[in-house]
Amino acid sequence: MHRIESAIEKAVKFRSHGIFISETFELARRQARDAIEKGLNPFPVAVKDCFLTSTSTTCASQMLENYTPPMNATVVDRIVAKGGCIIGKTNLDEFCMGTSSALGHFGPVKSALSEATSDDWLIPGGSSGGSAVAVQTGIADLAVGSDTGGSTRNPAAFNGVFGFKPTYGVLSRSGLIPLVNSLDSPSIFATSAESCWKYLEMLSGIDAADSTSVNLPEIEGIKSIEGLKVGIPAEYNNECLSDDAWKLWNHAANILERQKAQIIPISLPTTKYSLACYSVLSAADIASNMARYDSVAYGHRSKMENSTYEMYRELYLEKALKVRRKISNEIRDAFKKVDIIITPTATGTAPKYSELRDTLFTKEDDDDYFTQAANLAGIPAISVPIGKGCNGLPIGVQLMANKLQDKTLCNIAQLLYSRVL
């Protein structure tokens, strides 16, 4: 119970950072008592508020402000069955659309890595910013996020924690409010890659309620970097990458090489189209999934009555699907030559809110460039804290592996991080 009470105290301490949309302290206490009675060790969990819980689920939208689901998401039930105690539902960009966690109905998430004011603050990344900050502040041992194009890895990098997007289908999407069905992946924040794997084992498995769910194969993983083939894609050294991020990307590669890994230059030329491809595919899925929020059956009704024809119009879907296939094929072919691919997670350190606002949030697209390909290909990817920029803020590198090589990926991430410390 001590760990749960400590988590609650920290959640109260950091309330001004907007980490939680709803706090479920009494629920966490009940879950802790139940866990102890079952012989389990209770541990504190934060859940992104796009996963259904029978307390409330808003997806940071006024549309769902008073919505109480009749069920829990599968991953939530599995967490609680293993001793997880839900401290609260974490804040995010509305309907998971954004990489700043500043665009939700209930206010922004503010990073705890610097002082914040009402007018400006350090961006925690997004859209799973609340979950990332919950781990960074020590409130949660495990925080659940979702990742459609980098929404877990981006805030993990900005907050100096691990953010792990498993292979598509390994974690059930049942009870995750759908946004982009073919890209959405429940994901994990933790303080180590070892913990990411531990929690993945707790939560994974076939779910009859999710037809896309798959089982992870049983593999031994690896205990040494020696002989590992590491791919470095030339296209990720682009004009948006900061000097700090470039240097630490190289630093990570050098660490692996000193441990007798083989560094292999590779090319993923279609990556440059990933943002356009992602934008078209996500718009198509969003138009379909958001159609239910018409204020007729339930939800907030806007006074604006303009036609939604333009929003739903799909002009480029077939072309985008072809580009997605080409990106997937390039990555699949790359894994015939290498075991993992290492890239930056973002362009650099976390920006201030004022920087994003003054540039109309264009930096979000620059950061997305590094993470979207993993979602388009359905492969596992993890952001690993690798160091700090000249401003003292965290920077992460991203490791990607072939489909269903999640354990190997976490093993390598932990081995890399152990050399960083």
Size (the chain), residues: 421
CA 133 → CA 6, 95, 210, 358, 372, distances in Å?
16, 19, 29, 24, 22
Q: How far apart are alpha carbons 68 and 30 in whole angstroms?
A: 19
**Is residue 172 among the annotated active site residues?**
no
Provide CB contacts within 8 A for 184, sequence distance 6+.
146, 147, 148, 173, 176, 178
**225-251 burial code (b ≥16 CB/10 A, e <16):** beebebbbbebbeeeebbebbeebbee
CA distance 186 to 200: 10
Peptide bond preceding 302 in cis form (omega within 30 of 0)? no
| Active-site hit among 61, 111, 127, 128 | 127
Choosing from 151, 195, 213, 383, the catalytic residue is: 151
Tokens 């991953």 sit at which residue? 75
In this structure, what is the dihedral angle of CA atoms 316, 317, 321, 326, given to the nearest 10 degrees?
Answer: 10
Our answer to whether residue 174 is catalytic in this structure is no
The question of whether 165 is a catalytic residue gets the answer no
The answer to whether 375 and 147 are in contact (CB under 8 A) is yes
| Catalytic residue set | 48, 127, 151
